[in-house]
Amino acid sequence: MAKQGNIQISSENMMPIIKKWLYSDKDIFLREIVANGTDAITKYKKLAEMGETPAFDGEFCVKISVDKDAKTLSVEDNGIGMTEDEVEKYITQIAFSGAADFLAKYEKAGGEGIIGHFGLGFYSAYMVSENIEIFTKSYREDAKGVHWESDGESTYTIEECDKTERGTKIVMHIADAEKEFLDEGRIRSLVEKYCAFMPYNIYLNFTGKDDKPLNETQPLYLKNPKDCTKEEYKEFYRKTFHDYHDPLFWIHLNMDYPFRLKGILYFPKVKSKVELERGKVKLYCNQVFIADNIKEVIPEYLLLLNGVIDCPDIPLNVSRSFLQNDRQVQKISRHITKKVADKLTGLFKEDPEKFKTCWNDLSVFIKLGCIKDEDFYSKVKDIIIFKDLNGEYKTIPEFTGKKEPAEGEDKQEGKEENKEPCTVYYVSDEAGQAQYITMFKNAGLNAIVCDTFIDPHFISYLEYKETGKYRFLRIDADVDAALKEGESKEEDYKELIDAFKAVLKNTKIAVKAEKFKNADVPAIINVAEFSRRFGEMNAFYGLAGADAEADMTIVINTANPAVQKFLSLDDEKRKFVANQIYYMAMLSYKKLSPEEMQDFAQNNLSLLNQYIG
Ligand code: ADP
Ligand code: MG
């Protein structure tokens, strides 16, 4: 006769609540049930090791089977099993109270999410099942088979059954609305996601000896780094991230004290320059997958990497906001940051050539890391390099030729030299700023290339962190000072400027004149760095003032022959020449307005006609 009982926790209302809250994360039930199976095997193995029970020489494994006709999904292990008393205690009481506990925490966390919904355990299978049966037989001598069954709402039955093998089989009667979990492909992908590294072989619809387990019981990250080969790292990367481009390099984390942390972080090749691909850092707890990209544990910028992290010491049945403030978690996070910084600085020192070839793939990641984490910045600041106009990669001190005083060196020396912030010119668009680049090169000047989306922010960050040391000016922001030859006074060119202004159609732009070292270009546009940045920042944050015209000046080159003849021209010619010079300068800076473009085209047409005669 089957015994009946009431589930003591007031769980009548639990199901609808769980179903609602966890709707998007139902998948985790399979992880919970399979993990219970592997836990049961581990427990058995421990007992065998201690000699409490005879060693088992068969294969420890978990078998999952789907039966579409019977509408069941079953998970069977050959672990420790349970006696009737244990089923009562661990399933009817603990499993259910565990779920109630979980819900209480979930509620307290404002429903914002318990990491990976850990802690729901056995009960989570009721998210997809209308009824669950357990067939189990304890490892103990003389233990009898036990059959338990419940709809999870309020009542259950328990009785003897004639199970012959040690272990536990959970039979989930899948609810009609959850039919997807009777699909073999669906189950296979769930196992691959959640159970990929579980410690015992997992089979799906096991038929015989040729079947291959779906999981990798000894994932590479658990091994000692000494024993891993390059090929193994790459192979693990391909399999885990389905990326067929080899990673640039990797970091193998392996520590036991003061916390346990194992894993491998891979630096991927950046696939497209424009859009930054988000990586994936998978968090595991004792080889059980918890979730992807938990930014409370792994610093956000590290999420651009690909990796697996196994950290059994992270409290998982707590809310995310709790994790954020947990000291242990902070320590782990800091340790990961340090390891990453060490790896990068090590590479810079040991293999600068490789570092430079990897730089384009690394730079966004490093710059973002610096902005997000001062600690990280202070660790990697000396290895940040920039490409210059000759295609060479240099640190800022290398580029400016100003050596940083080394530690312990007398900082007084060179003090005079370091008083003024050092100007660093940069290019944000090599094609668009080609004319400026040519002029800079002709004048023997150099600039660094800052053309990723993060560079504007990074430049500001550097100026702020290294206050007074550097001043970054875009190549079009300091044209007159950079390119002029000798000193000139304002009144030297007053007549020219006034005459130019008098005929210029754009009355808003400021006009300046300067003698450049190079005579080729009649004029060039100068855009004040600060006002341009201000506009860019506003645009970035979607604020007003985003499209405010930057503070622009046209700088006329008095070394240019056309400019030199300007004052000798009659009014009509001045008008034509001044505006033509302006249009040409504007073109090399940015697009002209539609009206200006039309006027420019008109001018060119008349030039063409004159030329033909
Ligand atoms: P947890 O695994 O966190 O303890 P669960 O709700 O998943 O919580 O399981 C409750 C308990 O039920 C387990 O601690 C274990 O004692 C028992 N149990 C569950 N599944 C099995 C199994 N397959 N074999 C043996 N015992 C099990
Ligand atoms: Mg469990």
Q: pLDDT tens, 474-490?
A: 999 988 888 888 887 77
Centre of ligand 1 from the C-alpha of residue 90, in Å:
6
Q: Which of 18, 45, 46, 90 to mutate to test the pocket of ligand 1 (most atoms within 8 A of CB)?
A: 90
Mean pLDDT of 318-340: 86
Q: Is the CB of 37 within 6 Å of ligand 1?
A: yes
Mutate-to-test residue for ligand 1 from 122, 158, 200, 317, highest number of ligand atoms within 8 A of CB: 122
pLDDT at 21: 65
In angstroms, rounded to a whole number, what is the distance separating the alpha carbons of residues 174 and 128?
6
98 lines ligand 1 (CB under 6 A): yes
Question: Is the CB of 167 inside a 6 Å radius of any atom of ligand 1?
Answer: no
Residue 154: pLDDT band by 50, 70, 90 thresholds?
confident
Residue 161 in contact with residue 143, Cβ under 8 Å?
no
What's the alpha-carbon Rg for the chain, to the nearest Å? Answer: 35
Q: Which atom of ligand 1 is nearest to the CA of 80?
A: 25
pLDDT band at 23 (very low <50, low <70, confident <90, very high): low
Strands (DSSP E) found in 31-166? 61-67, 72-77, 129-137, 145-150, 155-161
Q: Give the pLDDT band (50/70/90) at residue 133.
A: very high
**How many angstroms separate the alpha carbon of residue 182 from the centre of ligand 1?**
23
Relative to the alpha carbon of 74, which ligand is closest?
Answer: 1
The yes-or-no verdict on residue 406 having pLDDT over 70 is no
Token pair 């409370």 is at which residue?
Answer: 296
Q: Tokens standing for 121? A: 């355990």
148 Cβ closer than 6 Å to some ligand 1 atom:
no
pLDDT, residue 411, reads 47
**Ligand minimally distant from the alpha carbon of residue 77:** 1
Q: What is the pLDDT of residue 231?
A: 97
State yes or no: pLDDT of 443 exceeds 70.
yes
**Predicted pLDDT of residue 9:** 62
* Closest ligand to residue 134's CA: 1
Taking the centre of ligand 1 as the mean of its atom positions, its distance from the CA of residue 40, in whole angstroms, is 8
From CA 238, how far away is CA 232, in angstroms rounded? 10
pLDDT confidence band for 404 (50 / 70 / 90): low
Is the CB of 88 inside a 6 Å radius of any atom of ligand 1?
no
Cα of 138 to ligand 1 centre, how many Å?
13
Whether 542 and 509 have beta carbons less than 8 Å apart is answered as no
Quote the CA–CA distance of 142 and 119 in Å, as a whole number. Answer: 32
Average pLDDT over residues 406-416: 49
CA of 91 to the centre of ligand 1 (A): 7
- Count of CB atoms within 10 A of residue 235's CB? 12
Pocket test for ligand 1, best of 11, 18, 39, 43 (most atoms within 8 A of CB): 39
**Mean pLDDT throughout 389-398?**
94
- Is it the case that residue 274 has pLDDT exceeding 60? no
Is 125 touching ligand 1 by the criterion CB < 6 Å? no
Q: What is the pLDDT of residue 405?
A: 53
Question: Is ligand 1 within 6 A of the CB of residue 316?
Answer: no
- Nearest listed ligand to the Cα of residue 317: 1
Considering only residues 163 and 596, tell me which one the structure prediction assigns the higher pLDDT. Answer: 163
Question: Is there a contact between 452 and 404 (Cβ–Cβ < 8 Å)?
Answer: no
Interval between CA 136 and ligand 1 midpoint (Å): 12
SS3 115: helix
Residue 226: alpha-carbon gap to chain centroid: 28
Bridge-partner residues for 137, per DSSP?
Answer: 167
* Sheet of strand 145-150, all strands in order from the earlier edge strand to the far edge: 3-6, 155-161, 145-150, 129-137, 167-174, 72-77, 61-67, 201-204
The alpha carbon of 38 and the centre of ligand 2 are apart by a number of angstroms equal to 10
Residue 325 has pLDDT above 90, yes or no: no
Average pLDDT, the chain: 88
Q: How far does the centroid of ligand 2 lie from the alpha carbon of residue 117, in Å?
A: 12
